Amino acid sequence: MTVKVALHGPDGAKVRFTQPCLVDTGYSGFLMVPSKHESHARSIGTKVVSSSGILAGNFPVETKVCYGTVDEIEGYIPQMPIEVVITFLGSGHGLIGRNLLSRWIAQFDGPRSLLTILEEYVS
CB 14 within 8 A of CB 5: no
**Residue 6, amino acid:** A
Supply the pLDDT for residue 18: 95
Band (pLDDT 50/70/90 cuts) for residue 122 is low
What distance in Å separates the CA atoms of residue 29 and residue 116, rounded to the nearest whole number?
A: 20
Residues in the chain: 123
Residue 99 belongs to domain with CATH number: 2.40.70.10
What distance in Å separates the CA atoms of residue 20 and residue 49, rounded to the nearest whole number?
A: 24
Supply the pLDDT for residue 48: 97
As a whole-number percent, the residues of the chain with pLDDT over 90 amount to 63
Largest interatomic CA distance in the chain: 45
Q: Taking residues 5-30, report their average pLDDT.
A: 93
Whether 63 shows a pLDDT value over 70: the answer reads yes
Q: Structural domain of residue 92, as residue ranges?
A: 2-120
- pLDDT tens-digit profile of 35-46? 999 999 999 999
Supply the pLDDT for residue 53: 84
DSSP per position, 48-117: -EEEEEEETTTEEEEEEEEEEEEEEETTB--SSPEEEEEEE-SSSSEEE-HHHHTTEEEEEEGGGTEEEE
Supply the pLDDT for residue 117: 76
Q: Taking residues 105-123, report their average pLDDT.
A: 74
Query: What total number of domains does the chain contain?
Result: 1
Supply the pLDDT for residue 76: 86
Does the pTM of the predicted model rise above 0.95?
A: no
Q: Taking residues 92-115, report their average pLDDT.
A: 84
